[in-house]
Amino acid sequence: MYGHARACPYRRKGVTKTARTAECPIPKRIRKKLQVTLDPEVYEQIKNSGVNASRLIDRAVTALFSRIDPVYILVSSKEGQIEAGPMRFERTTSRLSAGFSETEAGEAGDETRGEKRAESVSGNTRVFDLKDLDEYLKNAIPHARPKTIEGVSSAWKQFLGFGEVLSRKIGSRRKIEEITSRITYDTITAYNRDQNTKKSGTALGYVRTMLDYFAKKRNDPLLSAWSKSLKYSSPGTKRLFAVPGEKAAIVQDEVKADILTYYRHIIRDDIQDTLASKKPAFRNLVALLFGITTGARVEEMSRLTWDEIDQGLAAGWFVIPAPSTKTNTERMIPIHPAIKPYLELLKLIYPDKPFHSAMYRNTRKNRNAILHLNQARNYAVKYWREYNIDEKIRIAIMGHDEGVIKKEIEKEEEEIKTAMGKVYGKYTPQEIANHYHSTVGKGFKPIPKEVSIKKIRENLKPFFKNPQKT
């Protein structure tokens, strides 16, 4: 394994032996069983290389613990070199390697490979710009929704800002139109530390996925190592309970309070801006009712059309198209009978678009309401069970992803062993709707007794003939 070492005699158990070692004489070694999990490809590479696995692990661990922030491990069969970092091995003619150097440091997209020995951590750089972002959006996630594209773009620009900025162009509203940055391992660690102060690891996940994309496209093990090194760790302590203000902390009294807040504003006539502000207040009221009775996500509600809701008003349910859902899966959305007249009135006032998340936020603040719209979905998760809805039916209606389904299955009785596709295979949309209407639709009374649809209609009459497009 170490080509420069000489043969050294040593005596063990009364027998004189010789061995080629890095140092002579070798210290006494111990024999221990060690379980190691490897990728099949890595195993075959080590097996076919003739490398002594014991010596490999010995030297690798020594190198790792002797360095700070290691990036790769290089084990050379000819040069006797050890360099440390995440273990990723590549088979070459003379070595197992986890890195390579570019022909010119800082030149992005160099796909030259071969017998180049890995450089030190500080010597490896990559250059990225917004053209790389465009390529990723076009080739990796061509069908991504606008919100996802916006999130990925924002995360990538922020990431490049942590590197050595070579050029940058700022447009109107301080929007970054062009940015080119040289990225090093220090960039990766600085960005990772910053993201671990955030409440969400979404942005870091976007960047990690992008780096992994370019690592695979360019066959670049260094980028792969950088991608794997990005780990999100939620800041601060964790809780197993919700606190006021979090979306999971929603309670029934808060829903009633918000509905009454919007309602009282709609029917009052003692303020100057009453007429102008009644319309958005009613829209918020209906959005909240729709959310707690369907469990739909905010983004899904914003993408709904009146054609879809009209189908629901006629049949008691409708199918939301896959592109409009988070999980890209068609599912049925029930219409609670109590909110039908509210949806019909909403269409008269807002004929173009039923719901608007940004306007909901603004109106909520203006009316001093409590709940964010995304809390309505948590209300459905929390309280629908009170009306004896079958758990797997609830999952099918709300469109939980596989991770949530698994958790639900683990919590429920043993016989619940189905996933989303199997639910729809066993139950038709009509059967799901029938079960909903016999449980939640029958038992859940979402409209407070104090609320009168007749009074609401009277106060909103001015908008019937002249609806405003929003």
Query: In the prediction, which pLDDT does 56 show?
Result: 77
| Of 267, 296, 238, nearest in space to 458 by CA | 267
Query: In the prediction, which pLDDT does 422 show?
Result: 53
Query: In the prediction, which pLDDT does 284 show?
Result: 96
Query: In the prediction, which pLDDT does 401 show?
Result: 58
pTM of this prediction?
Answer: 0.57
Domains plus CATH for the chain?
Answer: 7-99 (no CATH), 126-229 (no CATH), 247-465 (1.10.443.10)
Q: Which residues contact 181 (CB under 8 A, 6 or more apart)?
A: 127, 128, 129, 160, 161, 162, 163, 164, 165, 166, 187
φ/ψ (deg, to 5) at 100: -155, 165
Query: In the prediction, which pLDDT does 32 show?
Result: 75
Q: Which residues contact 293 (CB under 8 A, 6 or more apart)?
A: 334, 335, 336, 338, 339, 380, 440, 444, 446
Q: Is 352 helix (H, G, I), strand (E, B) or coil?
A: coil
Query: In the prediction, which pLDDT does 254 show?
Result: 92
> pLDDT tens digits, residue range 156-191?
999 999 999 999 999 887 889 999 999 999 999 999
**Could you say which DSSP state residue 240 is in?**
S
Per DSSP, helices labelled H in 112-184 are 130-139, 146-161
End-to-end CA distance of the chain: 73
Query: In the prediction, which pLDDT does 77 show?
Result: 40
> How many Cα atoms within 13 Å fall on the side-chain side of residue 391?
17
Side chain identity at residue 75, one-letter code = V
CB 26 within 8 A of CB 19: yes
Q: For residues 52 and 60, what is the distance between their CA atoms, to the nearest angstrom?
A: 12
Low-confidence stretches of the chain (pLDDT < 70) are 1-29, 49-51, 62-123, 236-249, 271-274, 401-426, 465-470
